Amino acid sequence: MVNIAEVAKAANVSNATVSRALSGRGSVSPATRERVLGAARDLGYVVSQAASTLASGRNRNVGVVLPFLDRWFFTQVLAGAQERLVHAGYDVTLYNLAGHGDERRQVFDTFLLRRRVDAAIAVSLELSDDEISRLHDLGKPLVGVGGPIAGVPTLAIDDVSAARLATDHLLGLGHTRIAHIGGDEDSDLDFHLPPKRRRGYEDALVAAGVPGDPSLVAAADFTIPGGYRAAKQLLGAPAARRPTAILAASDEMAFGAILAARDLGLSVPGDLSVVGVDDHDLAEFFGLTTIAQHPRRQGALAAGSLLAQLEPDAYEPVDPLLPFELVVRSSTARPRPA
């Protein structure tokens, strides 16, 4: 079996340099890293995970806990985190909670406590005090993405400001009957996005002197069908009471709103302007004006924040406040004169 010394000899570097190059830790020039990787490939050398674990006391494995795996935002966060962690020499174990219930109890009562992971990233989840303390008691670093977790570093955009920016865009175009499709009761259990994005929407209306109207607020489940149903409800009102614009708390709900408007014979943006939040891969296809929050970058930064805890000498701390920006496309325009 090929050993690390043979790889070092083939690449004309020290054993320590081979270790750094293959683990992704420490300072190694790109050229040297490529030379070491090439030598390892040529010789068929594979790092022994068991030996690495015994030497470091770590599994070099990070758990990523998601509430859903079939929604774009979460898959993007996962992709960004996985890419960053794999580059740093860590494996990734995925825990899909599918919401809550028995799967969640198994993850926090059993799987994460078996010491198979060195740390965890929780995406858009509110963890109980018991769940947090169990991880901390085992010395497992934890980073959150999205929803706040008490006493845990959490990376998130300012959801209130993001929704306010989107609403201000519609107000600036001259819209005053602006509807909001937010989250429903189930999505509010963990996401924490619905009340924050609704507050941003309401704050913008108040600042502009536009009276709020409860009939212009509808709830959905952050999916295209959910947004479609909510928009049908909002747009079914008589023309005089119908909104001229909709702010959806996610792009997928905004897509549903656009499809509902078209099915009702309304043009977008002629009869209805629509804004979302995400900058989904399909946003450009729909011509959707949206707030880009870069979820793939969020995942990468969350992984970087964990690495800074696991290996503070090698990685810098990460700013917990994430960037966002308004991306204007063809789904918004000035309202038609009455």
DSSP 8-state code for residue 236: T
> Strand locations in 81-156, DSSP E?
91-96, 119-123, 142-145, 154-155
**Cα 123 to Cα 80: distance, rounded to the nearest angstrom:** 12
**With 0-12 CB in 10 A as exposed, 13-18 as middle and 19+ as buried, what is 185?**
exposed
Mean pLDDT of the chain: 86
Average pLDDT for 271-299: 96
Give whole-number Cα distances, 63 to 108, 121, 123, 297, in Å.
11, 6, 11, 18
In 75-90, which positions are buried (b, 16+ CB within 10 angstroms) versus exposed (e)?
A: bbbbebbbebbeebbb
At residue 36, the pLDDT reads: 82
Higher pLDDT, residue 15 or 330: 330
Residue 316 banded pLDDT, cuts 50, 70, 90: confident
Lowest pLDDT segment from 53-57, 215-219, 316-320: 53-57
pLDDT at 207 over 80: yes
β partners of residue 247:
180, 275
User: What sign does the dihedral 111-122-299-228 (CA atoms) show?
Assistant: positive
Cis check: omega of the bond before 243, within 30 degrees of 0: no
Three-class SS of residue 232?
Answer: helix
Task: Establish whether domains 4-47 and 59-156+295-310 are of one fold.
Answer: no
β partners of residue 93:
63
Give whole-number Cα distances, 134 to 110, 112, 140, in Å.
11, 9, 9
Residue 188 banded pLDDT, cuts 50, 70, 90: low
* CATH code assigned to 59-156+295-310: 3.40.50.2300
Question: Where is 179: in which H helix or E strand?
Answer: strand 178-183
Give whole-number Cα distances, 3 to 9, 252, 330, in Å.
10, 51, 59
Question: Domain map of the chain by residue range?
Answer: 4-47, 59-156+295-310, 159-292
Cβ neighbours for 287, distance < 8 A, ≥ 6 positions apart: 268, 329, 330, 331
**Cα 91 to Cα 88: distance, rounded to the nearest angstrom:** 9
pLDDT at 282 over 50: yes
Say whether domain 4-47 belongs to CATH 1.10.260.40.
yes
Higher pLDDT, residue 128 or 157: 157
pLDDT digits (tens, 9 = 90+) for 212-250: 999 999 999 999 999 999 999 999 988 888 999 999 999
Question: Where is 326: in which H helix or E strand?
Answer: strand 325-327
Read off the tokens for 320: 């917990």
Question: Where is 201: in which H helix or E strand?
Answer: helix 193-207
At residue 190, the pLDDT reads: 55
Domain 159-292, CATH among 3.40.640.10, 3.50.50.60, 3.40.50.2300, 3.40.190.10: 3.40.50.2300
**Cα 208 to Cα 108: distance, rounded to the nearest angstrom:** 46
